[in-house]
Amino acid sequence: MWARDPSKSWAEHYFLLVCPVAIGFLLIGIVATGWYRQLDRLGYTLVFERALVVVLLAYGTALAETVTIAAFPHYRFRDWHRMVLFGSAFYGLYFIVSFPMYYRLDEVDEMTRVPLKRDEKRLLSAASRWTLGQVILDALAAAMIVTILLDIWRLAIGGIGKGLRAPTNPWMGIA
C-alpha cells in the first residue's frame, strides 16, 4: 500500500485489511453467544459490558500490532515500555470507535424486528439494509469521533515520551 519496503508492505495489508474484519467477526461471535452476559454477575449494565469488551479488544489489538510491528528492522521506539503502555492505548482509540461502527453495518438489531403474530418475528427486508450513503456518512462520523478523541488525548495527556507535557491552545490561557 504505502510502504516502499516490501517487508513492511505485507504487514500494512494485514493490519489495515485483515484485523478490522477479524475483530468484526470476533465481536459478532461475542454478541451472538452472549459471552458478555457472563459479566452480569458483577452487576454491570449491558452498555458497560459491551463497552468493556470493545475497550479490551481495542487495547489488545493495538498492543498486538505495536509488539509485532516492533520486530521489523525499520521500527524503533525510544522507550519500549511507554510505547507499549501508552502508545497502544493511543492507537486503541481508533479501534474503540471503529469496532462498534464496523459491527453494526448491515446488522439487524432487536428494535428492527417486526412482530407478525404472537411470538413470531420477521426480519425487515433487505431494502432496509444500509445504503452506500449511510456507510459513507457513518465512516465520516467515525473519522470525526477519532479526531476528537485524539485531540482530547493531545490536550489532556500530551506526548508519550518522558517530559513531554500537553501543549495547549493559545486561547486556553494555560501556560
Task: Tell me what the pLDDT averaged over the chain comes to.
Answer: 73
In a domain, 88, yes or no: yes
SS3 of residue 25 by DSSP: helix
pLDDT at 175: 46
Whole-number pLDDT of residue 86? 87
- Report how far residue 77's alpha carbon sits from residue 39's, in angstroms, rounded to the nearest whole number: 36
Question: Per the domain annotation, does 173 fall within a domain?
Answer: no
Spatial separation of the C-alpha atoms in residues 57 and 40, rounded to whole Å: 19
Global model pTM greater than 0.85: no
Residue 146 lies in a domain: yes
Asked if residue 52 is part of any domain, the answer here is: yes
pLDDT beyond 70 at 110:
no
Phi, psi of 70, rounded to the nearest 5 degrees:
-70, -15
Please report whether residue 33 resides in a domain. Answer: yes
CA distance 144 to 135: 14
Per-residue pLDDT reduced to its tens digit, 6-49: 666 666 666 667 777 777 777 777 777 766 666 555 555 666 77
Q: Quote the CA–CA distance of 14 and 37 in Å, as a whole number.
A: 31
Note whether 55 and 88 are within 8 A (CB). no
What pLDDT score does 157 carry?
A: 78
- Of all helices (H) and strands (E), which one includes residue 12? helix 6-13
Tell me whether residue 64 is in a domain.
yes
Which residue range forms the structural domain that includes residue 50?
Answer: 6-164
Top-confidence residue, 170 or 74:
74
Number of structural domains the chain divides into: 1
- Which residues lie across from 114 on neighbouring strands? 122
